[in-house]
Amino acid sequence: MQPLSRSHMNQIPIPFFGLALVLLVSLVSPTSSCTEQDKSSLLQLLAGFSRDGGLTASWRSNTDCCMWEGITCSSPSGMVTDIFLASRGLEGPISPFLGNLTGLLRLDMSRNSLSGGLPLELVQSTSIIVIDVSFNRLTGGLSELPSTAPVQPLQVLNISSNLFTGRFPSTIWRVMKSLVVLNASTNSFTGQIPTTPCVSSPSFSVLELSFNQFSGSVPRGLSNCTVLKLLSAGYNNLGGTLPEELFNITSLEKLSFPSNRLEGALDGINKLTNLVTLDLGGNELSGNIPESIGDLKRLEELHLEHNNMSGELPTTLSNCTNLVTIDLKSNYFSGKLTKVNFSNLPNLTKLDLLYNRLTGKIPDSIYSCSKLTALRLSCNRFYGPLSERIGNLKSLSFLSVYNMSLTNITRTLQILRSSRSLSILLIGLNFMHESMPEDDNINGFEKLHVISMESCSLSGTIPDWLLKLTNLEILSLNNNRLSGPIPDWISSLNFLFYLDISNNNITGKIPTTLTEMPMVKSEKTQAHLDPSVFPLPIYRGGLEYRKPNVSTGLLDLSNNKLTGEIPLEIGQLKSLYSLNLSFNDLTGQIPISICNLTNLYVLDLSDNNLTGAIPLALNSLHFLSRFNISNNDLEGPIPSGGQFDTFETSSFDGNNKLCGSMLIHKCGSAKAPPATITPTKLSDYKAAFLIAFSAFFGVGVLYDQIVLSRYYFSWYYIIIRV
Ligand SMILES: *[C@@H]1O[C@H](CO)[C@@H](O)[C@H](O)[C@H]1NC(C)=O
Ligand SMILES: *[C@@H]1O[C@H](CO)[C@@H](O)[C@H](O)[C@H]1NC(C)=O
Ligand SMILES: *[C@@H]1O[C@H](CO)[C@@H](O)[C@H](O)[C@H]1NC(C)=O
Ligand SMILES: *[C@@H]1O[C@H](CO)[C@@H](O)[C@H](O)[C@H]1NC(C)=O
Ligand SMILES: *[C@@H]1O[C@H](CO)[C@@H](O)[C@H](O)[C@H]1NC(C)=O
Ligand SMILES: *[C@@H]1O[C@H](CO)[C@@H](O)[C@H](O)[C@H]1NC(C)=O
Ligand SMILES: *[C@@H]1O[C@H](CO)[C@@H](O)[C@H](O)[C@H]1NC(C)=O
Ligand SMILES: *[C@@H]1O[C@H](CO)[C@@H](O)[C@H](O)[C@H]1NC(C)=O
Ligand SMILES: *[C@@H]1O[C@H](CO)[C@@H](O)[C@H](O)[C@H]1NC(C)=O
Ligand SMILES: *[C@@H]1O[C@H](CO)[C@@H](O)[C@H](O)[C@H]1NC(C)=O
Ligand SMILES: *[C@@H]1O[C@H](CO)[C@@H](O)[C@H](O)[C@H]1NC(C)=O
Ligand SMILES: *[C@@H]1O[C@H](CO)[C@@H](O)[C@H](O)[C@H]1NC(C)=O
């Protein structure tokens, strides 16, 4: 059919015009109309989907495919140039017929549930310049191409976040002479990092391979990538040292290899004068930060955390005047921090020095970094005091100064009050043997979500001024010498879901109001903490990063002098993840309502004077993994089935009247043998977290939800202590 010319159309009568219009709209669009071959290829694609996200409504065979949803054609040729089908809920394979669209330039089918392989016909296309099939469930490997394959114009290939496996074939890259970006992150590729694109594609500038299983060392051949800007292969199994040749790629702006097993020193890094981001955290690097680091004038992100690095921090660090983040935690850096002049770093927003051996005073120059949002100095050999100038840090939201020999808690809180943005304040293991300020004048801290004043041997009571911290979510006062009762106002802290007052001298009953804590009563609690400050880990569960969807409530009242019965209403605290009432003088029965706490992972009631039977329905708590009721006066049978088949007998020790198949004392037998007493130590619990913490950094990928939440919590608890 010939398209009608405009001049001809003006002369034709109205009824015929109407018909022609219908024809025009349906078949021959005035701008362009798609070719039969393109249309049939697209219909083949559609036919292959098991879920098409409603595309059939628009992709009708009797209409112009250039008008279909997600399709763009060139004008006037009518060739399909763009297929944009991102986030449409598509399921099924990518049809090889797409290779027949000879004018196709860009294909975006990201964020669907596409399965099967990436068709070779597509990769071999002589027209496509951008392929984005990221965030799908594509499987298999990339195929070798015949050596006779024509040169391909492909510039951007994003196959990240899929289920691809196998080695990277080398031939495929030889014909991609225009390749600029290769993004294959978050798959299961194995073998060596490919270097062929460096040789064959003169414009190759982005190589993103993080979250795979690449192994071997960083290949020397990468230095053939002379215009490479981004090289990223974190979370793989790379070993060996960084090759000297790497430091010859002076075009590099981002070098990122976190969580591998790289070793050796950083000498030579100063040649990469265009670096903006250097991320080598979570490796086995040693040696010091070279003096020459000062040559990296554009450096903004410096991540060397969790390595084996040592030595003093070079004064020249202050020559990297554009630094935004310095993360050196968990290394062996020593010497005085005052060597670095922080007043030269006006853009510094995060400084993390946790777990090192740095000494001396907190440098005054830190207080001139007015953009600082997070400062973590804990677990070094620093000493106080904090300066009043901390009030200059108007954006400071995270401050961790655990174990820094600070004195005068009253004064310190007065100083910190001027830091109006504080959200997380960790000041434990300081102020030894001082008394908890009871002063009603302590105010400010409106934005505080987390406060930890643990392990300070503070005397006094749980102070009333805490009541004014209306946004408080996490309160940690454990390991002090606080006495008096748990105040009734505790339940008026509407967001509180984590209360640790263990190891004190708290007396009285467990107040019923405690069981009214709103956030712990609601089924799901998630911290409202600003994740951008010090992000909690987000795990990778197969396809995408995610935060485990778990309850986070904690109530730890252990090692106090609480008396009376456990209130029946405790069963309302639905979001409890951990309930520890051990080492008190509680009497009465274990309330049956505890069986309603279906999210419980830890239940410790040991070393009290509890009597009566163990509620049999406790075996329905599927997540319960740490259970201890030893050293009480309980009687009767131990529940069986469920999690109860996994607990050690030590969980029940010291209850002479208990019986069960796992004990020497079988139910029905007359004589109770003497039970052995195993002391339970709270410190074991904490140690377990430390171990889990280190395991997290070694493990990286965790799929199972329970394991997931276990590691999540170990990290969480560390973060809110130090
Ligand atoms: C289209 O592609 C398919 C599969 O790649 C192929 O079998 C077929 O011959 C092609 N059709 C045309 C008309 O080119
Ligand atoms: C895929 O990668 C390309 C290039 O790196 C990027 O532009 C694009 O946004 C990515 N796609 C998605 C869905 O993130
Ligand atoms: C790689 O693709 C992912 C989407 O899967 C995207 O988030 C990321 O930014 C891309 N990386 C680069 C370097 O373009
Ligand atoms: C760079 O590419 C050339 C040509 O393929 C090759 O001979 C050389 O070994 C490569 N360089 C390195 C350091 O591998
Ligand atoms: C780095 O580049 C310089 C100059 O281009 C060259 O002389 C040197 O041999 C290269 N070093 C390595 C290890 O490739
Ligand atoms: C860490 O470095 C020290 C020397 O500073 C060395 O003795 C030790 O073996 C290193 N450990 C690892 C795991 O590389
Ligand atoms: C580095 O900074 C110091 C002052 O901190 C200055 O004297 C020196 O000239 C700087 N060096 C370079 C190379 O900029
Ligand atoms: C700091 O950040 C600002 C704004 O992002 C930028 O203009 C400036 O160049 C950066 N560097 C220094 C040293 O101020
Ligand atoms: C602590 O500081 C307060 C107020 O800043 C002061 O009144 C008090 O004397 C100080 N206490 C000690 C023991 O220095
Ligand atoms: C707890 O209080 C008692 C007196 O009631 C006192 O003897 C004991 O030393 C206190 N324990 C701690 C750890 O403060
Ligand atoms: C458990 O919760 C349900 C619903 O919230 C309630 O009806 C029931 O009484 C509770 N059971 C106990 C033993 O408290
Ligand atoms: C708890 O039991 C122990 C030993 O059975 C007893 O000495 C103590 O008086 C009891 N305490 C309370 C508060 O009942």
Contact 418 CB / ligand 9 (< 6 Å): no
DSSP codes, 31-51: S----HHHHHHHHHHHHH-SB
For every residue of 191-251, DSSP letters joined together read ESPP-HHHHH-TT--EEE--SSEEEEEPPGGGGG-TT--EEE--SSEEESBPPGGGGG-TT
Q: From the CA of 321, which ligand is nearest?
A: 8
**Cα dihedral 98/99/104/107 (nearest 10):** 60
- The amino acid sitting at 493 is L
pLDDT digits (tens, 9 = 90+) for 214-236: 999 999 999 999 999 999 999 99
For helices 682-699 and 705-719, the axis angle rounded to 10 degrees is: 110
CB of 34 within 6 A of ligand 2: the answer is no
Q: Find the 505 Cα to ligand 10 centroid distance in Å.
A: 6
Q: What band does 533 get if pLDDT is binned at 50, 70 and 90?
A: low
CA of 412, nearest ligand number: 9
Please report the pLDDT score of residue 20 as a whole number.
Answer: 42
The Cα-based distances of 68 to 78, 90, 100, 176, 703 in angstroms read 13, 16, 18, 31, 39
- pLDDT tens for 26-77 read 444 445 688 999 999 999 999 999 999 999 999 999 999 999 999 999 988 8
Per-residue confidence at 437, pLDDT binned at 50, 70, 90?
very high
Closest C-alpha to ligand 3, atom 1 = 183
Mutation test of ligand 9: which of 409, 410, 414, 417 has the most ligand atoms closer than 8 Å to its C-beta?
Answer: 410
Please check the confidence at residue 720 and state whether its pLDDT lies above 80.
no
pLDDT exceeds cutoff 80 at 537? no
Rounded CA gap, 610 and 655, in Å? 10
Q: Over the stretch 98-149, which tens digit does the pLDDT of each residue have? A: 999 999 999 999 999 999 999 999 988 999 999 999 999 999 999 888 777 7
Return the biggest CA–CA distance within the chain.
112
Looking at residue 76, what is its pLDDT? 83
- Mutating to test ligand 10, I would choose from 434, 502, 505 the residue with most ligand atoms within 8 A of its C-beta, which is 505
Return the CA Rg of the chain: 32
3-state SS, residue 177? coil
Least distant ligand from the CA of 160: 3
Ligand 4 centroid – CA 271 distance (Å): 20
Query: CB burial class (10 A; 0-12, 13-18, 19+) of residue 15?
Result: exposed
Substitution candidate for ligand 3 out of 185, 210, 228, 256 with most atoms within 8 A of CB: 185
Name residue 398's beta-bridge partners: 374, 424
How far is ligand 5, taken at its centre, from the CA of residue 10, in Å?
71
Which of the two residues, 706 and 312, has the higher pLDDT score? Answer: 312
Give 639's DSSP letter.
P
Task: Give residue 121's Cα distance to chain centre.
Answer: 37
Nearest CA to ligand 11 atom 13: 593
- Say yes or no: CB of residue 37 within 6 Å of ligand 1: yes
Mean pLDDT of the region 449-468: 94
Q: Give every CB contact of residue 694 below 8 A, 6+ residues apart in sequence.
A: none
CA distances from 187 to 190, 473, 498, 546 (A): 9, 37, 37, 16
Looking at the CA of residue 160, tell me the nearest atom of ligand 2: 1
| Cα 40 to ligand 1 centre (Å) | 10
Q: What is the 3-state secondary structure (H, E, C) of 557-593?
A: CCCCEEEEECCHHHHHCCCEEEEECCCCEEECCCCHH
Hey, what CATH topology would domain 265-372 get? 3.80.10
Lowest-confidence pick of 10-24, 256-270, 618-632: 10-24
Rounded to the nearest angstrom, the distance between the alpha carbon of 106 and the centre of ligand 11 is: 57
Query: For ligand 3, atom 13, which residue shows the shortest CA distance?
Result: 208
Q: Which residue's CA is the closest to the ligand 10 atom numbered 2?
A: 505
pLDDT of residue 646 exceeding 50: yes
Cβ–Cβ < 8 Å for 487, 507: no
Report for 432-441, 525-534, 686-695: range of highest mean pLDDT: 432-441
Q: Which atom of ligand 10 is nearest to the CA of 503?
A: 13
Nearest-CA residue for atom 3 of ligand 2: 158
Q: How far is the CA of 609 from the centre of ligand 12 (A)?
A: 6
Per-residue pLDDT band at 23 (split at 50, 70, 90):
very low
d(C-alpha 339, C-alpha 719), whole Å: 27
